[in-house]
Amino acid sequence: MDADTVDSRVANVLDRLRHLPGALLPILHEIQHELGHVPATAVPAIAAALNLSRAEVHGVISFYHHFRTSPAGEHLVQVCRAEACQAVGSRALEAHVKQRLGIEFGATTADGKVTLQPVYCLGNCACGPSVQVDDQLHARVSPQSFDNLLAKLGGNS
């Protein structure tokens, strides 16, 4: 997507949402939904539209774990690290996932297929360990079933 298209997509989102009370989070969600992340070039435009400083907008983006400022890989894999999943072996799963993908949390595989992130609770606490791949939740994930999931994504990192 070229810079002009990015700018016009951002402008379109701002047009639609700027008048909402407390508009910034809905705007950031919509931009990330459309562009896959919140590009740095969007910040001045958002600031101008909402009469905020760029620092304020940057502060909001950086506060929330959900928003990313650079593109993610083709697929987002989130592994739950919270207590209920720990109780059924998520630490071992986490180690396996990192080893299998060859990356740490927050990174993307070299082939650009998978971005790995931690998540703290997906609300699947009776059927952990839990992993979310893009918008699909997976339950009772084991190292084996994770490998199967990965194979289905075509990821071979």
Partner 1 sequence: MSVRVFVPGDSTACALGADQVAAALVDQARSRGLDLDLVRNGSRGLFWLEPLIEVETAAGRVAYGPVSVADVAELFDRDLLAGGEHPLALGPTEQIPYLHKQTRINFARAGVIDPLSITDYRRTGGFAGLDRALTLSGQQIVDAIKTSGLRGRGGAAFPAGIKWQTVLDTAADQKYIVCNADEGDSGTFADRLLLEADPLQLIEGMTIAGLAVGATRGYVYVRSEYPRAFAVLRAAIALAREDGYLGPDVCGSGRAFELEARLGAGAYICGEETSLLESLEGRRGLVRAKPPLPAIQGLFGKPTVINNVLTLASAAAILARGADWYRALGSGRSLGTLPMQLSGNIKHGGVVELPFGMSLRALIEDFGGGTASGRPLRAVQVGGPLGAYLSADELDLPLDYEAFAAQRAMLGHGGVVVFDDSVDMAEQARFAMEFCVAESCGKCTPCRIGSVRGVEVIDRIRADTERTDNLLLLKELCDTMEYGSLCAMGGLTPMPVRSAVEKFPEDFGA
Question: 26 or 157: whose CB is closer to partner 1?
Answer: 26
Residue 82 binds partner 1, judged by CB under 8 A: yes
Return the beta strands (E) in 41-141 as ranges.
Answer: 75-80, 114-119, 131-133, 136-138
Q: List the interface residues with partner 1, window 92-151 (CB under 8 A).
A: 119-128, 130, 132, 135-140
Three-state SS string over 36-60 comes to CCCCCCHHHHHHHHHCCCHHHHHHH
Scanning 8-16, 18-26, 106-114, 149-157 for contacts with partner 1 by CB under 8 A, the matching segment is: 18-26
Cis peptide before 118 (omega within 30 of 0): no
Question: How far apart are CB 4 and partner 1 at their closest, in Å?
Answer: 27
Question: How far apart are CB 140 and partner 1 at their closest, in Å?
Answer: 7
- CA torsion 57-7-66-116 (nearest 10°) is -140
What is the residue whose two structure tokens read 């600031």?
47
Scanning 6-14, 80-88, 106-114, 146-154 for contacts with partner 1 by CB under 8 A, the matching segment is: 80-88
Question: 88 or 107: whose CB is closer to partner 1?
Answer: 88
Question: How far apart are CB 150 and partner 1 at their closest, in Å?
Answer: 17
Residue 47 binds partner 1, judged by CB under 8 A: no
How do 114-119 and 75-80 pair as beta strands?
parallel
* Interior angle at CA 98, CA 62 and CA 134, nearest 5: 60
Question: How far apart are CB 54 and partner 1 at their closest, in Å?
Answer: 14
Residue 16 binds partner 1, judged by CB under 8 A: no
Residue 86 binds partner 1, judged by CB under 8 A: yes
